[in-house]
Each structure stands twice: as structure tokens, then as C-alpha cells.
């Protein structure tokens, strides 16, 4: 069961977040854009190989991604544009973190670390694109879901990997390699699901 499929369990928490942060003079779209700030700070920490600080900033970026949707629902300002911007900025955040990893001195594991980083980001991109393309081409009426790793799971695993990087860069490389394999498997699973529904 993915976090996406069990998201209803977090609805009470989301309501509390929406109620609290809606008191600030920021729109849901403002919160979406502000998410880039901790992501860029995490990028810099990765360049400096301050992995623990990068992990904390990644968690902050993830929490701010919760805030925008929570505020939109609480204030009844959810909109297609807001959902679109949220999706776009989600990709930017993940891309910024992956780009930062390229500057860290990570050891090879069968292949150079940058190859695993590319495969991880490509797999995440294809997992998302497989969903978007299926709807765009009219293969499915509702958003395509499924696969062993969705974005939330990828970020949680990456967060754990970056924390492990503070202990040993080798462990972070192992986690990125696992993400590279699993994210591409997830993309193939979604392509297969779309093919069955075509």
C-alpha cells in the first residue's frame, strides 16, 4: 500500500495544518512557490556535503508541500491552476535535490554515483510522465496510480539515505542505487497498467 492510496488517513492532520497556516497572509500558490527556498538550501548543503542539514531542509520542503494543499482545502481555494503549479514545483524540488547530489563526493557502486543519480531522477520523471501521458492520450479517465514507489515514498527513502550519508557516503550511494532501480520499476509498472487499460 502506497502513501497515496492511504492518504485519507492524513486528512485530519491536513485539516489542522490548513487551519493553522491559513492564518498567515499567504495564498496556497505562495506556499507552493516558497517550497523552492528550503529545496535550494538543501541543494547548497548537499554541495557542501552537510548531509544532516540537507535532510532537515528536505523535510521542511516536504512539509511545505503539504501546507499549500491543506491551506487550499481549508480556505476553499483549491483550483486546477494550483494543482498544476503544485505538480510542476514538485518536479523542480526533486530535480534540485538530485542535481545537488551530483556535486557530493559519492563513491562508485558498480557504476559511478552520477549514473545512479541520473537513473533515479529519470525513473521518477518517467513514473510521473507515464501518469500524465496516459490521461493526455485518453487511455484513462482518472489519474493513473500504482507502482511500488510514488513521489512520497521516493522522498522518504531519499531523506533516509541523506541522513545515512552523514554516517557514510557509501550508504547514501546504496540508497540512491536502490531508488534508481525501484523508481524505474515503478515507471514500467505504470506503463503496464496503462497498457492493460488501453
Query: Scanning the structure block, which residue is given the C-alpha cell 554515483?
Result: 113
Provide the whole-model pTM.
Answer: 0.83
CATH code assigned to 7-197:
1.20.120.1760
| Residue length of the chain | 198
Per-residue pLDDT tens for 75-125? Answer: 877 788 888 888 889 899 999 999 999 999 999 899 999 999 999 999 988
Neighbours of 143 (CB within 10 A): 10
**Residue-level pLDDT at 9:** 56
Indicate the domain borders of the chain. Answer: 7-197
Contacts 24+ apart (CB under 8 A), 193-196: 193/144, 193/146, 194/130, 194/133, 194/134, 194/139, 194/140, 194/144
Neighbours of 65 (CB within 10 A): 22
d(CA 76, CA 34): 20
- DSSP code per residue over 67-126: HHHHHHHHTT---HHHHHHHHHHHHHHHHHHHHHHHHS-PPPBSB-HHHHHHHHHHHHHH
Per-residue pLDDT tens for 13-24? Answer: 777 877 777 787
Mean pLDDT across the chain? 85
**Residue-level pLDDT at 8:** 55
Per-residue pLDDT tens for 24-37? Answer: 788 888 888 999 99
For residue 68, what pLDDT band results from cuts at 50, 70 and 90? Answer: confident
Catalytic residues, which ones?
90
Amino acid at each position: 500500500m502506497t502513501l497515496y492510496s492511504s492518504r485519507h488517513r492524513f486528512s485530519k492532520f491536513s485539516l489542522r495544518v490548513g487551519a493553522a497556516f491559513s492564518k498567515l497572509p499567504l495564498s496556497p500558490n505562495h506556499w507552493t512557490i516558497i517550497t523552492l527556498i528550503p529545496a535550494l538550501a538543501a541543494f547548497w548543503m548537499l554541495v557542501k556535503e552537510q548531509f544532516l542539514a540537507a535532510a532537515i531542509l528536505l523535510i521542511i520542503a516536504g512539509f511545505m508541500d503539504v501546507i499549500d494543499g491543506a491551506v487550499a482545502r481549508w480556505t476553499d481555494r483549491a483550483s486546477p491552476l494550483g494543482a498544476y503549479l503544485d505538480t510542476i514545483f514538485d518536479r523542480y524540488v526533486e530535480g534540485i535535490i538530485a542535481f545537488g547530489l551530483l556535486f557530493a563526493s559519492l563513491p562508485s557502486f558498480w557504476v559511478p554515483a552520477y549514473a545512479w543519480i541520473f537513473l533515479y531522477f529519470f525513473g521518477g520523471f518517467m513514473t510521473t510522465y507515464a501518469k500524465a501521458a496516459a490521461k493526455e492520450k485518453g487511455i484513462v479517465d482518472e489519474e493513473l496510480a500504482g507502482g511500488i514507489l510514488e513521489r512520497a515514498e521516493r522522498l522518504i527513502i531519499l531523506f533516509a539515505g541523506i541522513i545515512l550519508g552523514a554516517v557514510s557516503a557509501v550508504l547514501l550511494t546504496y540508497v540512491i542505487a536502490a531508488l534508481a532501480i525501484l523508481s524505474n520499476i515503478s515507471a514500467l509498472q505504470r506503463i503496464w497498467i496503462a497498457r492493460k487499460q488501453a
